[in-house]
Amino acid sequence: MATFLLCIICTIYIGLGVPDSALGSAWPDMYASLNIPVGYQSILSMLISLSTVLASFFSARIIKKLGTGPVTALSTITTAGALLGFSLSPNVWWIMLFCVPLGFGAGAIDAAVNNYVSLHYKPTHMNFMHGFYGLGVALSPFIMSFTLSVAGGWRVGYKTIFFIQAGLAVLSVVALPLWNKVKSNTPEKKQTDSKILSTRQMLKMPAVRSAWCTFFFATALEFTCDIWASTYLVLSEGLNPDVASLFLTLYFVGIMASRFIVGFVANKISCGTILKIGYIVIGVALIGLFTPVPPIVKGVLIVLIGFGIGPTFPNLIHATPNNFGADVSPSIVGFCMVACNTGIMIMPPLFGLIAKDLIWLFPAFALLTFLLTATFTFIYNKRLKPLGKKL
């Protein structure tokens, strides 16, 4: 039963990843067909991120009231409706409107499922789940590329993604009885027994503050590379756009591959060890960007950054209930998801202000973000020791 539900969760997570990279893939055709400035993408991304942050902020209360299964089903249905709305929108104002349910659906399901899997499954399963999310992220550009070149443009692309999401919505509804059955067969406390912590209560906990900052900068690093690495390789290193785009695709593949690889050993290696190995890979790759190596090598180094950062999020998330207790984990996981989405919302646009004239500073910005990630990870681990815990 638990294995069957895990397969369903991983399938749903593929669908969760597909919309996340759809907007960037479709945007060159979208802004031209809608006759709007290219910079409107930032507005749409901001609306999606704000809605995701809002959903993460209230996720613990929503999960306690409805349960993980219903939240997953409702979120998947909401996301599917938003994607259909994108495909049918006559102008950008309607797309802005549908950004809200798209972000809210993604934020709610992310917090709910991450907390559930961290409570009822092993680290291996958490890494595999996020590996499947990476598969979804990698699939979206292929879907959009096909529809843009062959099948009728970005609207058809979003309709295709809608049908995928609608199928997953049906699957999530059919799977509703499984959630409580699996939960009842585990020794962990049920989510209905959870204690809701206020933001003030969590901010009074030193380890939670450090965890928040760790999630903020780790996710910021991942998405700053996602958004700006290709541009850096083209404008600063002189690579052709198609070659730079290939390296960005391989960056996503690196994230996905490292999560699957770590999934095979995560039950035998501690979270702290996994993080250390990943951070060493990231550090070596970032230092390499400052050396006078050929542009192709720098593309490979970008891929290595993805490989190193991939396991960070799933393993930090999985450690949360063990570090703070299953009864408060819905609140703290939701709070950490707020950190992730706030990092996505702030740091890549912040570098965008710099990149307008100084794109060559990308390695320095990425290195600074990484050093902050490593520093707060160290502080987080140190502050867990009085609780008798460690990463």
Q: What is the CATH number of the domain that holds 214?
A: 1.20.1250.20
pLDDT in tens, the chain (391 residues): 678 888 888 888 888 888 877 887 787 778 888 888 777 777 888 888 889 888 888 888 888 888 888 988 999 999 999 999 999 998 999 999 999 999 988 888 888 888 888 888 888 888 889 888 888 887 877 787 778 777 678 888 899 999 999 999 999 898 888 877 766 665 544 444 667 888 888 988 999 999 999 999 999 999 888 878 888 888 888 888 778 878 888 898 899 899 999 988 888 888 889 999 999 999 999 999 999 999 999 999 999 999 999 999 889 988 888 888 888 888 888 889 889 989 988 888 888 777 777 888 999 999 999 999 999 999 999 998 877 777 7
Shared domain check, 329 and 380: yes
Q: Report d(CA 150, CA 76) in Å as an integer.
A: 28
Contact 9, 117 (CB under 8 A): yes
Shared domain check, 346 and 269: yes
Shared domain check, 296 and 173: no
Task: Report the sign of the C-alpha dihedral through residues 242, 248, 254, 256, in that order.
Answer: negative
Shared domain check, 168 and 101: yes
Report the pLDDT value the prediction gives residue 187, as an integer from 0 to 100.
53
Decide if 3 is inside a domain. no
Report the pLDDT value the prediction gives residue 189, as an integer from 0 to 100.
44
Shared domain check, 213 and 169: no
pTM for this prediction? 0.81
Contact 342, 216 (CB under 8 A): yes
Q: Report d(CA 199, CA 336) in Å as an integer.
A: 11
Shared domain check, 213 and 273: yes
Shared domain check, 241 and 101: no
Q: Report d(CA 139, CA 256) in Å as an integer.
A: 12
Shared domain check, 376 and 275: yes
Decide if 295 is inside a domain. yes
Decide if 2 is inside a domain. no
Q: Report d(CA 335, CA 234) in Å as an integer.
A: 37
Q: Report d(CA 83, CA 343) in Å as an integer.
A: 24
> Helix/strand/coil (H, E, C) string of the chain?
CHHHHHHHHHHHHHHHHHHHCHHHHHHHHHHHHHCCCCCHHHHHHHHHHHHHHHHHHCHHHHHHHHCHHHHHHHHHHHHHHHHHHHHHCCCHHHHHHHHHHHHHHHHHHHHHHHHHHHHHCCHHHHHHHHHHHHHHHHHHHHHHHHHHHHHCCHHHHHHHHHHHHHHHHHHHHHCHHHHHHHHHCCCCCCHHHCCCCCHHHHHCCHHHHHHHHHHHHHHHHHHHHHHHHHHHHHHCCCCCHHHHHHHHHHHHHHHHHHHHHHHCCCCCCCHHHHHHHHHHHHHHHHHHCCCCCCHHHHHHHHHHHHHHHCCHHHHHHHHHHHHHCCCCHHHHHHHHHHHHHHHHHHHHHHHHHHHHHHHHHHHHHHHHHHHHHHHHHHHHHHHHHHHCCCC
Shared domain check, 166 and 76: yes
Neighbour-count burial of 276, counting CB atoms closer than 10 A to its CB (0-12 exposed, 13-18 middle, 19+ buried): middle
Query: Last residue of a domain, which of 178, 212, 241?
Result: 178
Shared domain check, 362 and 229: yes
Give the total number of structural domains in the chain. Answer: 2
Decide if 1 is inside a domain. no
**Which residue range(s) make up the domain with 279?**
199-387
Decide if 127 is inside a domain. yes
Give how far the C-alpha of residue 159 lies from the chain's centroid of Cα atoms, to the nearest Å.
23
Decide if 189 is inside a domain. no
Q: How far is CA 54 from CA 60, 350, 375, in A?
A: 12, 21, 27
Decide if 190 is inside a domain. no
Shared domain check, 248 and 140: no
Decide if 188 is inside a domain. no
Shared domain check, 239 and 144: no
